[in-house]
Copies of this chain bind each other. A is one copy, B any other.
Amino acid sequence: MSNETPLDAIDREIIFHLRQDGRLTNVELAKRVGLTAPPCLRRVKRLEESGVIAGYRAVIDPEAVGRGLEVLIDVEIYAQDRKSFEEFESIVAAFEEVVEFRRMYGRPDYFIRVAVADHAAYEAFLTGRLSGLPAVRRLESHLTMKTIKTSP
């Protein structure tokens, strides 16, 4: 996947523009980076094939799909055998409310980001799903007061 050819200035410009608008037409993109369409398309294809451009996504308003509330959770677990770890990880990863899930160095053991409709839905998730897992020792939920910046 990792490309041997490092990105030149034009590649970086292409990435910059496609990050802002993934549906740019190739001709418009070419105009912005100072190329004509065919060489521009070849570069884009190369970036896609080398994995630099991993895909394209529509950005959806979380509110509109019932995911307006994000909660960050620090998790401590009981140190157990390998099987318990694996079970805990696969169960949590399968929860649709979980949008990010990392095992951390030091403390906490795991970091989870959950997206739900509202506080009632979060309470239901915490009580009905997460806190009942045998591996869970301690959960600490962190609520956002204000999002100052997200994504590049």
Contact = CB atoms under 8 A, between A and B. Distances in A.
Interface of A: 1-3, 7, 12, 15, 18-23, 50-61, 63-65, 72, 89, 92-93, 96, 98-106, 108, 111, 115, 142-152
A60 B64 contact: no
B3 A64 contact: yes
Which 6 A-B pairs give the minimum distances between C-beta atoms? A18-B58, A22-B56, A101-B149, A52-B64, A101-B148, A103-B146
Given A23-B56, A103-B145, A105-B143, A64 B150 contact: no
8 contacts: A18-B58, A20-B57, A22-B55, A23-B56, A50-B64, A55-B59, A72-B111, A105-B142
Contact of A151 (B3, B23, B100, B146): B100
A73 to B, nearest CB: 12
A59 B59 contact: no
Contact of A150 (B21, B99, B105): B99
A25 to B, nearest CB: 10
Contacts of A101: 147-150
Given A22-B22, A106-B142, A145-B105, A61 B65 contact: no
